Structure 1
Amino acid sequence: MGKPKRAAVLAAAQESTSPPDELTNTQFVSRVIQAEGNSLYTCELPSGKTAIVELEPKFRNTIFIRRGGYVLVDLESAKERLKTSKVSGEIINIVRDEKAWRKQPYWPSKFAKNTYGQDDDEDSTVGKMPPSDSEEE
């Protein structure tokens, strides 16, 4: 297999930098959990469900998708695809400029950026000193 043409790589990269103004009812921003191989990825939807989705052909071999990254998934053909395969949707865009995407009104609150001190786990003892005996008196 040959190297992809430079123009195709640049066009795919340019398209994935800017977020769309609005999403349809079947489009969701989701987090990539695992690469399954052959342009298939397991993604976590904002509802908490997981779905196996296929990468759109124009992005194949041009843009790298990492685990934990965000993608725009279209589940429009999910009903038709589930009858014949496990693939339930298609990745139609890749979030590259995450800062610009997070400013959009459709960004799911489930994928809010955790900053120091906003951990979900309140019982975490990481970074805390154990209580000493002298403090109790």
Structure 2
Amino acid sequence: MKKAGAEKKRARRSSAAVKGASGRDPATDISPKKQANKKDVFQLFAEKVRDHKDLVSRWAVLQETRVEYFRGKDFVSFLRNHPELKDILESDSHLEVEDIVNVLLSKNLLVRCDRVVKTVRPGKRKLSTWPAHLEIYPVSSYIVGSHFF
């Protein structure tokens, strides 16, 4: 015989009560305020950088989705001009720009991209500075002055 809906809920609640309030382990139970304070410093750094008006960025299409992106060399000059943003990283504020980007890439806070069209259009002399279409670059490590993020 099948359990009624109320019995299923009761069974789920009783198993959750064993774990602790709201389904979390009581040994690692952290209040929401402490959890917000414990937020990853690299995530806070990435949000501050993304919202900063001095970092030049554009919109493009990445795998059928519109995304905002910036150039690698612009990011390097941006961090050199705004060293106060590194203070958000607390103990990691001494890291070089390459190391910061590699950590952001490893935590999937940045995605390394490259232009889809790599040939110059007829009648033009050089590639567009800000391509309209991007693709994910397979190797996710930072090289100074290259690629888009």
Give the TM bin, normalised by the shorter chain: under 0.3
Q: Between Structure 1 and Structure 2, which shows a larger proportion of helix residues?
A: 2
In the superposition, the TM-score normalised over structure 2's length comes to 0.24
In the superposition, the TM-score normalised over structure 1's length comes to 0.26
Q: Between Structure 1 and Structure 2, which shows a larger proportion of strand residues?
A: 1
